[in-house]
Amino acid sequence: MSDAGQKPQQCRHVAVNAESHHLTIESGSVPVPKTGEVLIKVHSAGINRADLLQRSGNYPPPEDASSVLGLEVAGTVQALGPDAGHWQVGDKLCALTHGGGYAEYAVAPVSQCLPIPDGFSKAEAAALPEALLTIWHNLFQRAALKPGEKVLIHGGASGMGSMGVMMCSTLGAEVYTTAGSDEKCKALEDRGATRAINYKTEDFEQVITELGLNNRINVILDMIGGEYIQKNLSIAAPEGRIVNIAYMRGFKAEINFAPLLLKRITMTGSTLRAQTFEQKAKMVEEIMTQIYPHLGTGKIKPLIDSIYPLEEVEQAHGHMLSGTHMGKIILKM
């Protein structure tokens, strides 16, 4: 392993109390990068809803993953494991981790590391990996979204949803989305949505119908579930594709599946964490080709809602649970 000067032996990280699920700051050993990994001195870490689920015990990490929360970071390469590719000590990057991101130091596979785009702060870079890979995989790999097609993205004000709006719009899709306030809807329309629907005051199925788009929505990305499942089937176009990435309003619903048969709809879903390093490496490769050229233009740039110091991780999680945020919540080391 190659080091940048004296590597510290201890680092702070966030720990979860197994009984109370409260978060505390503890000290532990600095992780050691294995073959094909780099050690990152973390500047910023993105907060994701998956972190909240893991904290509550409802989304256990894979057996080979770090038990520390945190799936994406930005920082500086501190040390290299064997076969670290082109990365060098001192390089600035962002990365999708295999857990362990809520810490002063974290390791990541080199196949899941990305350069920080020109003009991006480390906080903005920390908001990229999870959203880029999730949106790319689900909308462009799984759903095969094409230029000119109509896409509906639920949860558009989230870090994930807002990134999806910008990516799809930039690559030529006609974007519709849902969000929880008029202010959020306006912000999403400013970033490429043709129409953003306030789900607290409007029924998105009714609005889509009034716009003359019933049976014309080609692709739907849903993280809500519950009663949205039936509504999605109702408005989807023939040969439409519906992708579920979460079920915030519940995994169970009573569904009339007749539209699925009559319109030959494809329903699918995925989680990013369960996929192999090889699958994620393919996503990174395609993102570098298809998305990264647009990051420097300002067309695709993560919305940062707020930045919390590591010591205020409880407040950061509470802010996400409140649902009042617009864009990404970041932890700063």
Backbone angle region of 192, left / alpha / beta, with phi > 0 → left and psi within -120 to 50 → alpha: left
Tens digit of each residue's pLDDT (9 = 90 or more) over 181-238: 999 999 999 999 999 999 999 999 999 999 999 999 999 999 999 999 999 999 999 9
For the cut 50, the answer to whether the pLDDT of residue 274 exceeds it is yes
Domains and CATH numbers, the chain: 2-128+303-332 (3.90.180.10), 132-269 (3.40.50.720)
Both structure tokens of 9: 């032996």
Task: Name the nearest CA neighbour of 197 among 183, 207, 209.
Answer: 207
Tens digit of each residue's pLDDT (9 = 90 or more) over 156-189: 999 999 999 999 999 999 999 999 999 999 999 9
- Mean pLDDT, the chain, rounded, equals 95
- How far CA 222 is from CA of 133, 251, 261, 301, in Å, comes to 16, 12, 20, 22
Provide mean pLDDT across the span 31-41: 97
Tens digit of each residue's pLDDT (9 = 90 or more) over 110-168: 999 999 999 999 999 999 999 999 999 999 999 999 999 999 999 999 999 999 999 99
Query: 130 pairs with which residues across the strands?
Result: none
Task: Name the nearest CA neighbour of 126 among 153, 96, 162.
Answer: 96
In this structure, are strands 92-96 and 113-115 parallel, antiparallel, or unpaired? antiparallel
Q: CA-CA distance, 256 to 233, in Å (whole number)?
A: 9
Compute the 3-state secondary structure of the chain and give helix, strand, coil in percent, each to the nearest 5.
Answer: 30, 30, 40
Global confidence as pTM: 0.95
Query: 91 pairs with which residues across the strands?
Result: none
- Give the pLDDT band of residue 7 (cuts 50, 70, 90): low
Report the 10 Å Cβ neighbour count for 266: 16
Q: CA-CA distance, 266 to 13, in Å (whole number)?
A: 42
- Give the pLDDT band of residue 1 (cuts 50, 70, 90): low
